[in-house]
Structure 1
Amino acid sequence: MDTCTRAPVVVNPVLRHDKERRESLDGNWHFRLDPEDTGLAERWFEHGMFAEEIQVPGSWQGQGFGDTTLETIWDFRLDVRALRATYTGTGWYSRRFTLPPRWQDARLWLNFGGVHPTAQVWLNGVCLGENHAPFVPFGFDVTDVVHRTGDNLLVVRVSEDDRAMGMAFNWQGNWSGLYRGVELTATGPSYLDQLWLHPNVDAQQMVVIASVGGPADALGALTLDLTVQPLSAQAEPINVELHFTSACAQVEIPVPDPLLWSPDAPNLYRVDAVLLSEGQVLDARTERTGFVKLSSDGPHLLINDEPYYWRGSGDFLSNPETAAPDTDRARWRRKLQTLRDYGYNHVRCQSYVYAPEYFDAADEVGLLIQSEMGLLGAWSGHSQWHVYQWPQPMPDHYDALRWQWNRVVERDVNHPSANMYCMSNEYGNTAHYPRIAWKGYHETKAIKPTALIIWTDGGYHPDMPADFINSEAGSNRRGDSSGADLPLIQHEFRWWSSFPDVRNIRKFSGAIRPYGAQTALEAAERHGTAHVLPQAAANSQWLQLIEMKGKMEACRRDNPTMAGICHFNAMDANPSPQGVIDEFYERKVADAATWCETNGDTVVLSSLGFDDRVLAAGEQRSVTLFVSDFSHP
């Protein structure tokens, strides 16, 4: 029986080729918790008779499966009920389906967009395999297992084995589940496995690397019809035919004067690929990409050879609607456009990576995303077993960390927004795992040549791989005297927080509870001061804004050659309301135009120190004004 696992696979693509054969299994599934973990021994996979109903995609705790006990939010060490329900343990899903009649003679695949923490999958009582990488979409060849007529029973067991591999997925509670879509796809005997697009700005060409699977003796008859065209302008499509003599083939497609992708002009191209054998369509796929070149010139980071000021935000998996990574593209388009409106052009995902739907929206609005899959050890919080960087790439974890890292880079290879990668958090100036770091650097560049890569966010060492530095602006740029001439982004500036806003409790109708505001409210009620909380939140937000504005402008003024600032954060992160906007990406006190006076391409800066901005009646100040200008063009 052939149960060949594929990873990464494409699930829920933003564009779908009209010759693709793809059916969603999303929606209502049956579900059962297994707190005693007896389901395997009792062979639940043979019947899948679970009484509860659950929605896929989603997390089960976010849908109310569990109890009302407390759990510890691992960096703040708060004991709260963060999600609609609390449960750490095993859960089982089941669903029945029938094949479309037109698929009776096809090769068939069962694909999962993402499961956290660990998945074990059965179809019609046959174990297809497991997945131990929560960030990676995976699939199985089910051609010889599926029933061509009648019902098929699909059962998935989700267990705790690889929760550490989800890293900061767990920042706001231990959620679990099938958090992205599940799909059936059909192909011919040969199929298109991977399709990597490498737009080359300088050469004005699209390098296409395609790999196929299937019978080796069929390779000589395979061709891949490729069509390249911009999405945002009328242009004649460029058509190329690629022939296979081995399982992997490459072609360079000239694209004269390509429309470039940048935060200011996020132009995208559509690439259609159809795999044929003697005129018969075997498989098809549509991908999007963008022509973007990231580079540096001394202290400056460049996009398409123009200097840009990196105006970044951290993100702590703030998805109050879902807890798990949100897969609603429309919601992400609105949220990420809000970030762009407030001047941000970069997001750092702190020790995790979002789902592809997030990158689809980032591609469209013009945001560069820094993904962090913990190759050298992720920010995983505090416990009696580990502090901060964990799991580290020791022999018991390295293979799994490396496999997940590379598969995620492959997953996102065609996204122009997915062009920054970081291997760890805050290793400072100590070189940890240099051989692993350099191997990861070169493997990433081989998959994604345009990517900017750093070994740690929050440190520098001359022997470690870094295309830029993310560290403290006041530490002589790099914390040592190596003389390295690399762009510097100010690290995590600066965690200013307002008071938890009880007025926002009404907004929390999804998977995550307003546990920060609820904690403040419960404490205030014990002391009879609950009535002051709304005004306390409002006043503290104005004070927070004043400090954010004054100190971010001072950092930019005092470090005129700095490449950018990563503001921690643009958005609130329950239970730490540290953003200029809230968790729902809605305004607190400053509108977008006001904040862009601090966080824009061009900013007027004052020579006044922060404390000098408080004046008494009759006092005078002499002020020098500066202009920091990174406008485009």
Structure 2
Amino acid sequence: MFEDEAAGTALCFQLIGGTARTCDASPCDDPARWVQVTMLLRTAFIVVIAALVPTVCHAQRTRLDLNGTWEFRLDPRNEGEVQRWHATATPFDDSIEVPGAWQAQGFGTRSGSLRHDYAGTAWYRRTVALPAEWKQKVVRLRIGGAHRETTLFFNGARIGEHRGFSTPFWFDVTNHVRPDSDNVIAIRVSNPGSAPTESPREQEPSRLTGMLNYIGNWGGIYGSVELQATEPTWIEDVYIRSDVDSKITKFLITVRSQATQAYPAEIRVSVSPDSEGSAALRVQPGGDTEVELALSIPNARLWSPEHPHLYNATIALWHSDREYDRVEERFGVRQVTTRGNVLLLNGKPLYLRGYGDDNIEVLTGFPPASRETYLKRLRLARSFGFNAVRYHSMTPAEAFFHAADEAGMLVMAELPVAYTQYFLPHQDLLRGELERVLRTYRNRPSLLSIAFGNELNLSWLATEDERERLLETVADFYHLAKALHPDGLVLSNDGHVVRPTDMVSHFGEGLPDLPTVKHEFGGYYCSLPDISLIDELTGVLLPTWLEAKKQWVEENGLAAQYPLYVRHSQRLQHLGRKAQIERVRRRGDITGYHYWLIVDFPGGTGEGDSWEEGWFDYFWRPKGISPRDGQEINSPVLPLIDADVHDRTLWSDVTKNIAVSISNYGSDDLRDARLSWKLLANEQLIAHEENLRVSVPMGSVQGVSQITIGPVPGKEAQRLELVVTVNGKHTNRWAFWAFPRSALLRHPDTSVYSTVKWAGIARLYPFVRPEAPRGGADGLWITSVLDDAAVRFLRSGGRVWLLADRGQVQPRAEAGFFPEAGGAQGTMVHNHPALDGFPHDGFCDLQFYNLLDGGVPFPLDEWPKDFQPIVGGTRTTTGFLSKSKDLSRVGYIFEARIGEGRLMVTTLRLREHLDEAYPEAIYLFDRLLRYATGRDFAPPIGIGVDELNALTPP
């Protein structure tokens, strides 16, 4: 299929034998011929909207799309070139679709979590007919991307090879084409080696590795393939630079010629709708000629994520009233600069609300070659408030950049250096990749920065000589990048402070002299693995990590409950996102973050088991969150409060003061902006204030108001929602819980004893006897140790409430409210009489924060399958980068029968927080005390000696 690369150019046709073909770029000076054509077209009822007597034919680049089906053959013994597979007429046995990884199309054998894997050499072959018009043309083959080494053969001749996999690349086949005949194209692609499975520091850097080839050592052609014909003199490169203050856009144009003599020419540039200019040059034979042209674009509309306006530039090469070549380039008028530690876009402070992308393509391996696919994804991410993306150790596909230009997403690209050890051994190849990346994508307004790799950690290098070499190479790369793209930002790496660099992305504090972005931000909080996705993982990856979790779920009798545990883990994960983002937005030394990750990361790689840290699942579907949830924490103008996650409860009869601030990274200063707030209880308005006037300059965080909530009407504990809005459109919301103090237990139904060393009990409940029961089995015994005396009391029919100390149960590991890095937890709060009146909606929200954070998740894996805790959960138990992420059933409040006795266990931090400052602790303690002393205390399941031993002192 032939297509005109310069869309919208007028075409000159000759009607020959009833067919239309493009003419060469010579003057069409036969009016009679055009009249004949016009009459024929009218007869055929074809309406042609074009000038019928053009003065010239516009030059066009004709291209032949070679995507689709190719012959294919694996070459495991690497013998194809010697046996001249590129020249033989014998058909290959297999076929393959281009673009696409060969693993995704069934080639190779199973290896670990890869359904098919093949590492080595393979051959693509295709026969194409080229038109006679291609005589005297320069013909080049363009490959949009291949991994990792590519060799081209054309009509039996070896044309050349390419090493690298970050950009499209070209081969000149002019001297070997056969116009008006069949032509045989053979492409040899090799992907030796394998994807890393060791942990990051243990990986062997024998082959250059980044996220393009980290999950799998994908093989084959991943970009579009085409043949393109031009005149012997053509426009080789266009570099566009804009100055937003002067509204001047400069075009640096490189003209390449295979002509045998020099001649004068002219470059003409037009930018729709009404800017144009020209510049003279003298084309040099057999080489490149550069010319610069500046255009004024009055009233230029600037490109930004919020307003991604794009211009179309037409660049044409003329000589003697003949147009030899033309190209079209989309670009945006925008300028990225820095001022101290402030990042500026078009002269205004910019806050990067970014996400991380690890090239997680669970079906295809390789990234898509489809602009439409990327547009859909990017618009989804934009709807969640993101304005930037960091690609870990890779540069995204060409189609991605064009989609990002259109969607308004800034791109932080990187060279394929997954970790420190890959940098120095491959520095020559990386230098070439750096040049190709910048030359290919420097016109893209979405390209914010290029980094030389991920986490260049000097401490990982064994010798001082290696450290010095790395610093020298970084400096060399930096100066090369600034020479190629002076207007772009250059990062030495993403993860550590290594100078020279224009910006820093790391885990640490903000620097005073450079903009600082939070590296892989978010604490790596995960949700539980979603085993419902198993049947959808039909592509390159076998869902072995999910199948292992499914087996555990079934063995533990959780098949019906597990989906709810997953959903609750996603809710907890989003609570963590909100807390993390709000904390960093309160700071003035940080200019952004890239939240890690946008989609979940699969198991079976060098990162160990799976990381369900994504906002979306493997298929770009939101994990229980809506665009509103994302926008409210990812907003350029973000209302904030000083009540952090540990400070969300209050007594109903008191007031609580809350300071409000605003992080303003919108497009303008907030001057006399409208601030409003409202407080809801059970979705009913109980307090509000409207039209407070506030002002906050761009690029700053400032306190603007104080809100007082309470007293809260009502006799029941209840969940509240505080909603703050700026100018009617920038909204944030927070949950609070109010507890009445007037309803504490005064007269229990039975005697209560306590051997817990805890003054708070006696102060709040004077009826509690500070001793152990002396005989019989009457009453409730509150204890922190289930010793022999307590067990005897239970077996004789007594009631025991074990307020478990961390050191008195096995194992002794404590848990955070939020999971540790790479970990996950889904809690479940059942509608149980023990929690009567305690507000919850089925899981541990922030009303449990102070109770659960630092508490003991008691393992219930060896307990009966039908044992159901009152408050419990399913959580991961293994550590960072573990090869197998184990799951465990845990309890925080649970009950059981022991003989005739009744036992209730709490491992929450009730005792530490039984204080007026923690109304949730007092109120929950009271609910549990009422239950344990009341008639409803009737545990449905009994436990045996093994379970009991786990509760007794070690």
TM-score interval, normalised by the smaller of the two chains: 0.7 to 0.9
Determine the C-alpha separation between the residues in 2 that align with 1:12 and 1:568: 41
1:384 maps to none
| Equivalent pairs, count | 584
Contact 1:299 1:485 (C-alpha < 8 Å) held by counterparts: yes
1:103 maps to 134
> Which of 492, 498, 514 is matched with 2:520 structurally?
492
2:433 maps to 404
Contact 1:393 1:401 (C-alpha < 8 Å) held by counterparts: no
1:129 correspondence with 2:160: yes
Determine the C-alpha separation between the residues in 2 that align with 1:521 and 1:269: 52
Sequence identity percentage:
29
Contact 1:569 1:578 (C-alpha < 8 Å) held by counterparts: yes
> What are the Cα deviations for residues 465-504 of structure 1, in whole angstroms up to 9, with x where unaligned?
12222123xx4424xxxxx422211121121111121233
Secondary structure at the counterpart of residue 611 of structure 1? coil
> What are the Cα deviations for residues 590-626 of structure 1, in whole angstroms up to 9, with x where unaligned?
2111221111112222222333346799897543222
Which one-letter code corresponds to 2:597 in the other structure? N
Give the C-alpha shift of residue 314 in structure 1. 0.9
Which one-letter code corresponds to 2:580 in the other structure? K
1:146 correspondence with 2:184: no
1:119 correspondence with 2:150: yes
Contact 2:268 2:276 (C-alpha < 8 Å) held by counterparts: no
> What are the Cα deviations for residues 393-419 of structure 1, in whole angstroms up to 9, with x where unaligned?
34xx32221011111110102101112
Contact 2:584 2:590 (C-alpha < 8 Å) held by counterparts: no
Determine the C-alpha separation between the residues in 2 that align with 1:526 and 1:275: 72
Which one-letter code corresponds to 1:554 in the other structure? R
Which one-letter code corresponds to 1:407 in the other structure? R
1:623 maps to 658
1:74-473 matches, within 5 Å, as 80-81=113-114, 84-161=115-192, 164-165=207-208, 167-215=210-258, 217-229=260-272, 235-244=273-282, 247-374=289-416, 378-379=417-418, 388-394=419-425, 397-428=426-457, 433-461=470-498, 464-472=499-507
Contact 1:166 1:352 (C-alpha < 8 Å) held by counterparts: no
Secondary structure at the counterpart of residue 495 of structure 2? strand
2:742 maps to none
Determine the C-alpha separation between the residues in 1 that align with 2:420 and 2:341: 29
Secondary structure at the counterpart of residue 210 of structure 2? helix
> What are the Cα deviations for residues 521-573 of structure 1, in whole angstroms up to 9, with x where unaligned?
2444465544443223212111111111122212222x233211221123323
Distance 1:99 1:217, change over 3 A: closer
Distance 1:281 1:597, change over 3 A: same
2:84 maps to 43
Secondary structure at the counterpart of residue 181 of structure 2? coil
Contact 1:133 1:165 (C-alpha < 8 Å) held by counterparts: no
Distance 1:290 1:455, change over 3 A: same
Determine the C-alpha separation between the residues in 2 that align with 1:300 and 1:287: 31
Give the C-alpha shift of residue 371 in structure 1. 0.8
Structure 1: tracts of 5 or more residues without a match: 1-10, 71-79, 230-234, 380-387, 479-483
Distance 1:439 1:509, change over 3 A: same
Determine the C-alpha separation between the residues in 1 that align with 2:616 and 2:99: 27
Determine the C-alpha separation between the residues in 2 that align with 1:302 and 1:460: 20
> What are the Cα deviations for residues 36-70 of structure 1, in whole angstroms up to 9, with x where unaligned?
33323322222262121211011110122112232
Which one-letter code corresponds to 1:477 in the other structure? G
Contact 1:133 1:162 (C-alpha < 8 Å) held by counterparts: no
Secondary structure at the counterpart of residue 588 of structure 2? coil
Determine the C-alpha separation between the residues in 2 that align with 1:155 and 1:342: 45
Distance 1:547 1:621, change over 3 A: farther
- After superposing the two structures, state which structure 1 stretch, 276-285 or 509-518, moved more: 509-518
> What are the Cα deviations for residues 416-440 of structure 1, in whole angstroms up to 9, with x where unaligned?
1112111132235777623322222
Structure 2: tracts of 5 or more residues without a match: 11-59, 195-206, 460-466, 603-609, 669-954
Contact 1:14 1:360 (C-alpha < 8 Å) held by counterparts: no
Distance 1:527 1:33, change over 3 A: farther
Secondary structure at the counterpart of residue 456 of structure 1? coil
Give the C-alpha shift of residue 343 in structure 1. 0.9
Determine the C-alpha separation between the residues in 2 that align with 1:16 and 1:55: 30
Contact 1:93 1:156 (C-alpha < 8 Å) held by counterparts: yes
Determine the C-alpha separation between the residues in 2 that align with 1:32 and 1:616: 74
2:825 maps to none
RMSD across aligned positions (CA): 2.6
Higher RCO (C-alpha 8 Å, min separation 6): 1
Give the C-alpha shift of residue 511 in structure 1. 4.4
Contact 2:210 2:392 (C-alpha < 8 Å) held by counterparts: no
2:510 maps to 477
Give the C-alpha shift of residue 325 in structure 1. 1.9
Secondary structure at the counterpart of residue 362 of structure 2? coil
2:574 maps to 545
Distance 1:515 1:608, change over 3 A: farther
> What is the TM-score with the length of structure 1 in the denominator?
0.86
Distance 1:14 1:565, change over 3 A: farther
> What are the Cα deviations for residues 186-229 of structure 1, in whole angstroms up to 9, with x where unaligned?
11121221111112222321211111222365442332222112
> Which of 64, 68, 80 is matched with 1:27 structurally?
68
Determine the C-alpha separation between the residues in 1 that align with 2:234 and 2:548: 54
Secondary structure at the counterpart of residue 644 of structure 2? coil
Distance 1:101 1:435, change over 3 A: same
Which one-letter code corresponds to 1:194 in the other structure? D
Secondary structure at the counterpart of residue 569 of structure 2? helix
Determine the C-alpha separation between the residues in 1 that align with 2:64 and 2:209: 28
- After superposing the two structures, state which structure 1 stretch, 536-545 or 317-326, moved more: 317-326
1:62 maps to 104
Determine the C-alpha separation between the residues in 2 that align with 1:277 and 1:23: 26
Determine the C-alpha separation between the residues in 2 that align with 1:280 and 1:614: 78
- After superposing the two structures, state which structure 1 stretch, 85-94 or 347-356, moved more: 85-94
Determine the C-alpha separation between the residues in 2 that align with 1:16 and 1:171: 41
> What are the Cα deviations for residues 92-138 of structure 1, in whole angstroms up to 9, with x where unaligned?
11111010233233221111111101111111111111110111322
Determine the C-alpha separation between the residues in 2 that align with 1:104 and 1:497: 60
2:884 maps to none
Determine the C-alpha separation between the residues in 2 that align with 1:162 and 1:125: 28
Contact 1:240 1:253 (C-alpha < 8 Å) held by counterparts: no
Give the C-alpha shift of residue 362 in structure 1. 0.3
- After superposing the two structures, state which structure 1 stretch, 597-606 or 611-620, moved more: 611-620
Contact 2:455 2:495 (C-alpha < 8 Å) held by counterparts: yes
